[in-house]
A and B are shown apart, each in its own frame.
Chain A
Amino acid sequence: MRSSSRNMLLIAPGLGWLALFMVIPCVLIFMLSFFERGMYGGVDYNFNLENFVRAMDPIYLGILLDSIYIAGTATIVAILLAYPAAYAISLSPRKKQTTYLFFIMLPFWSNYLIRTYAWIVLLNREGLINNGLESIGVISEPLNLLYNEFAVITGLVYNYLPFVVLAIYSSISKLNPEVREASEDLGAPAWKTFLRVTLPLTAPGVAAGAVFVFVLSIGNFITPDLLGGGRLQMVGNLIYDQFLSARDWPFGATLSFILIGIMMMLLFAQAVIVNRGQIEKHEAKEEDVSSMNFSRQSLNEKEKSYA
């Protein structure tokens, strides 16, 4: 078919790019994870599962669980912040929506490192927040805001928030406003309309945003490094160290592989949520005209039968 061969032609560049720079490195990492580190930092090619056993060591497992905890917290905080914002934007007049979204995306146009350093300026013991709070007398001692979990989570949320807002906004703005009105018309107070109609129908957007923050957070190594001050290690830092400091590429590959596995599972879960309920569509046809009629039994009679 001509159209399908033309389609292939259009898909080919993107597919080729992904195959070359995504699939092949992943396969290499997968293979590498079954070998071991050579004496001087190279790779000894004898197949074994040592790296996977080592990854289950409480030290590494602890770092993995910490990472899941930090990324999970960042995800929850980001969703809680993004949902009201996205909701408010989608309710504002059409023309203003573009402007608001522009400002939501604006921070993203500056460099990631600069944005992260900016948080150091804000959060350190002589930083803007501590000085500000001290000058108005709320605190007498500076708070330890920097180089801890709080700082890392703050940095992660800050960096990925725009995407979450966008993801949730797109699913809220796709919602037919009459559906929410119908809920109110049928007697639901605003909070019930939200819980039973708006939230379930925007769950795909929430799931997309959540997976986005979680996946990018759990693999992040710059934010924990700068805002965690080296005291806090996440999987990303561990992998970074294996490749660049310890020169243990096979173990780094194993950790990467585990991380990729977790991400794949999450993406799969997200796909399930998005597709939930979209069971095979029956071919809906207008039935036989005779069955279209409402039954002749009157509502009044029904009414009487209740009494």
Chain B
Amino acid sequence: MSSVIQLRNLQKVFGQTRAIDDVSLDIQENEFFAMLGPSGCGKTTLLRTIAGFESPDHGKVLLSGEDITPLRPNKRSINLMFQSYALFPHMSVAKNIAYGLEMEDLTKQEIQRRVADVMDMAHLHEFANRRPDQLSGGQRQRVALARALVKRPKVLLLDEPLGALDKKLREQMQLELKRLQSEAGITFVMVTHDQEEALVMADRIALMKDGRVAQLGSPKELYEQPNSRFVADFIGSMNFFDGTISGDRITLKNGTQLSGVVTADDMNHGTLAVRPERICLHREIPQDADNRIQGVIEDIAYHGQDLSVHVAVANDAQRKLARISATLAEEQELKLGESVWCSWTSQHGRLLGA
């Protein structure tokens, strides 16, 4: 696999804020890449820099090894699907899709054939003569996608592609987009603030914070092996046990000693991060458990397939969360106010710096 997009030491400053702060990334061919992060983390600026709408203060953007940093968006073999879709309101669906091809040196027949093909693919034929304001949100999204794909770009950028759709349609389009990407053989680079969307769709995710890449990896790596408290907190839900670290052990304020996987050297103060689904609850003290801590059940939330049990631990303001399956919950018959032991194996806890 070779890199289709290479970002080298990109920097962009708006006034006082560093929107992009020394970002270097390699995006592989045929990859579904997601840039994830809270609003203001620089992900959209990064996407617009790749598209050519923002020019970086420092650094380079390379497309298939060629430096495209000085090129305008109309000279790049990259297309962007805008968050608002940005369809041309005065043109029909067919005209919208043909627009990009009319800018290339193509014959009328060639344009017509490619427009017809892409409309077949996106099931847009019956809407060919409609205007964007006569379409539903989902139909508009398909027009925007068709309009970008018909150009056969090397890379398709998607800015919050599913943001404007309702929940049910969104879930369905997640898989649809992923399938389309692998079939079309085009690199997709998506920006999203929705971690679930990124986990479901992307091959790799760059989780961003304050203009920097906080962690880069597959969805599983980001979920199972977060390298910082920020990543652990942003992706999914997480329990944190703050304390003093020495070796692979952490001592909490209440004196309890726990152990976990060491992620960096020289950590003094830090936290142990444990996923809620890794925690087991017991009425009796689990003698042979790697880690155990006692607490009181403060809240039980019913989700159908499982339950969230909130446990208050002595000398710790943060309530701990355990997710247990419905079947197990029925056997255990946990009640509010009950005293319980939480336990987990050491390999499921990660020691992270403060």
Binding site for B on A (CB under 8 A): 176, 178-179, 181-189, 192, 196-197, 200-201, 277-279, 281-282, 284-287, 289, 291-295, 297-300, 302-303
Starting from the known contacts A186-B151, A187-B151, A289-B172, 10 additional A-B residue pairs (CB-CB under 8 Å) come to A178-B83, A185-B73, A186-B100, A187-B74, A201-B88, A201-B89, A286-B169, A299-B121, A300-B185, A302-B117
Size bracket, chain B contacts: 35 or more
B72 beta carbon closer than 8 Å to chain A: yes
Contact mask for chain B residues 147-161; partner A; CB cutoff 8 A; 1 contact, 0 none: 111011000000000
In Å, the complex CA distance between A179 and B87 comes to 6
Where the two chains meet, the residues of B that have a C-beta atom closer than 8 Å to any C-beta of A are: 51, 53, 72-74, 79-80, 82-84, 86-90, 99-100, 103-104, 117, 120-123, 130-131, 133-139, 142, 147-149, 151-152, 169, 172-173, 176, 179-180, 183-186
Interface pair A181/B53, CB less than 8 Å apart: yes
Complex A-B, nearest 6 residue pairs according to Cβ-Cβ distance, in ascending order: A186-B100, A187-B103, A298-B183, A182-B86, A178-B86, A299-B184
> Do residues A295 and B74 form an inter-chain contact, with CB atoms below 8 A?
no
Chain A residues positioned under 8 Å from B133 (CB to CB):
278, 281
A288 CB → nearest B CB, Å: 11
- CB-based contact B99/A186 at 8 Å: yes
**Contact present for A187 and B180 (CB under 8 Å):** no
Chain A's closest residue to B110 (CB) is A306
Contacts of A294 in B (CB 8 A): 121-123, 142, 176, 179-180
- State in angstroms the CA–CA spacing of A58 and B284 once bound together: 112
Are A185 and B80 in touch, CB under 8 angstroms? Answer: yes
Query: Are B120 and A295 within 8 A (Cβ)?
Result: yes
User: Which residues of the other chain, B, contact A279 by a CB distance below 8 angstroms?
Assistant: 131
Whether B90 contacts A200 by the Cβ 8 Å rule is yes
Closest to B92 in A: A277
Question: Given that A179-B88, A286-B169 are known contacts, is A184 also in contact with B72, CB under 8 Å in the complex?
Answer: yes
- Asked whether B74 lies within 8 Å of A286 as measured between CB atoms, the reply is no
B191 to A: closest C-beta gap in Å: 14
Task: Answer whether A284 and B172 are a contact pair too, CB < 8 Å, given A188-B103, A277-B90.
Answer: no
CB distance from A98 to the nearest CB of B (A): 21
Complex Cα distance, B336 from A48, in Å, reads: 98
Partner of B137, one of A181, A286, A295: A286
Q: Tell me the complex Cα distance, A300–B83, Å.
A: 26
Please name all residues of chain A whose beta carbon is closer than 8 Å to the beta carbon of B122 when the two chains form the complex: 294-295
Q: With a CB–CB cut-off of 8 A, which chain A residues contact B51?
A: 185
User: In the bound complex, what is the Cα–Cα distance between A299 and B188 (angstroms)?
Assistant: 14
Which one of B74, B84, B176 has the greatest number of beta carbons of chain A within 10 Å? B74
A299 and B185 within 8 A (CB): yes
